Structure 1
Amino acid sequence: MNFLQNWRKRHAPARGVAVYDAVREDPEGVAKLFAECELLRTRAWQSHLELDDSPASLDALDQLTPRWREDPEELPWLGNDAGLYLGTVIVRTVAGASWDVWPGGQPVVRLASGREIDVVDAGLTWAATGAPELFQVYAEASEA
């Protein structure tokens, strides 16, 4: 991805400000990067669940047995992926939703109303405790 190579040239190693700039320079490329969620997709696949970037897939994730909680090293990575996946579903299915990044580098979803959702925090909380459910966060965003 071109924007990632450009980040590395300007900011070695890439920091939050690079992500902040990239969202403005190449929003589609950043959206693709955020949508990868490799660990989450792998764990879902191992549970016979294919993530298709739909709201229904969020509901299916909420039903998985949280085996990742047994591994304190995996939990934050999976939670981060869950948040980025949640954001991906919102951006792809809620009219007017888009990715944004706070100046410190935290990816958030901005709704058409201007409300921002810290999807990474929601994903981390979900991975650690199961609440709020990912579909619940999605449903609230789709109503805003």
Structure 2
Amino acid sequence: MNIPFLGARHRKGGEVVLPTDPEAIAALLSECELLRSQAEEAGVRLDDTPAALEALDQLLPRWRDDTELLPWLGNDAGLYLGTVVVRTVPGAAWHLREDGEPVLRLASGRETEVVECGRAWASSGVPELSQLYAELSET
């Protein structure tokens, strides 16, 4: 998931310069506007906790019938999973690759492409977001 708006406004010698402030990156990636609106419509409050991931896993996946909505919701689900991990697991942080792709980096050094995980969850429900959180919080 290339996020061109993260660095496209700032160019240095023809190179895109990505933001380096971890808090700014985390705040930007935590917006997940589409997922938050879908959850709110279903009566689920996303408060950036593991319990919210469990609540998302219980939603009726009405979005699977919308081929345009599905990939965007999957992106948001992955970013939301990463947001919960960053906010609750010591040492976890976002890392932006040179191409602008966000990956979750754990204190152990392990990197996880949570956006891909979110896409899988949105399209099939497997693995569950709460299960992924449990795995990531243990490493």
Same fold (TM over 0.5): yes
Q: What is the CA-CA distance between 1:36 and the residue it aligns to?
A: 0.4
Query: For 1:15-70, what per-residue CA distance to the aligned partner results, in whole angstroms no more than 9, with x for missing partners?
Result: 9x54xx21x2x211111110000000000000000100000000100000000001
Moved segments of 4+, more than 4 Å: 4-7
Equivalenced residue count is 133
The two structures have a TM-score, normalised by structure 2, of 0.89
Equivalent residue of 2:59, what SS? Answer: coil
Equivalent residue of 1:8, what SS? Answer: coil
Q: What is the CA-CA distance between 1:116 and the residue it aligns to?
A: 0.6
Q: Distance in 1 between matches of 2:7 and 2:58?
A: 40
Gaps of 5+ in 2: none
1:83 match? 78
Equivalent residue of 1:59, what SS? Answer: helix
Query: Do the aligned partners of residues 117 and 6 (structure 1) sit closer, same or farther apart at CA in structure 2, a change above 3 Å counting?
Result: closer
Given that 2:49 and 2:88 are in contact with CA atoms closer than 8 Å, whether structure 1 keeps it comes out as yes
Query: For 1:91-126, what per-residue CA distance to the aligned partner results, in whole angstroms no more than 9, with x for missing partners?
Result: 000011000022222111100000011010000010
Q: Distance in 1 between matches of 2:35 and 2:9?
A: 26
The two structures have a TM-score, normalised by structure 1, of 0.86
1:45 match? 40
Q: Distance in 1 between matches of 2:70 and 2:32?
A: 13
2:88 match? 93
Q: Distance in 2 between matches of 1:93 and 1:6?
A: 27
Equivalent residue of 1:48, what SS? Answer: coil
1:10 match? 11
| Amino acid aligned to 1:52 | D
Structure holding more helix per residue: 1
| Amino acid aligned to 1:74 | L
